Amino acid sequence: MKALISSIGFIRLIDVNLPYKTLESIVIERSQFEQLIAVDNLKQKCIDKSKLYENGRTYLQAKGLI
């Protein structure tokens, strides 16, 4: 999740319009997990990664994050 490039699994889920099934969506939707994982700005990193893809942007818009 903290990697700058997207994993193959993430890309495949985004491509078939299942962004809510990604590990990144857990961090985006449940902020308490960001503290447990203890990576600085993890939620923002997950949001930024999702913004790179059309289905990811649609997901973020539905959540009111962009």
pLDDT tens profile 19-32:
999 999 999 998 88
CB atoms within 10 A of CB 4: 7
Residue in the structure block whose two tokens are 């600085």? 40
Q: How confident is the model at residue 49 (pLDDT cuts 50, 70, 90)?
A: very high
Mean per-residue pLDDT of the chain:
90
CB atoms within 10 A of CB 32: 7
Structure token digits, residue 36: 């447990």
Structure token digits, residue 21: 């099934």
How far is it, in rounded angstroms, from Cα 47 to Cα 29? 10
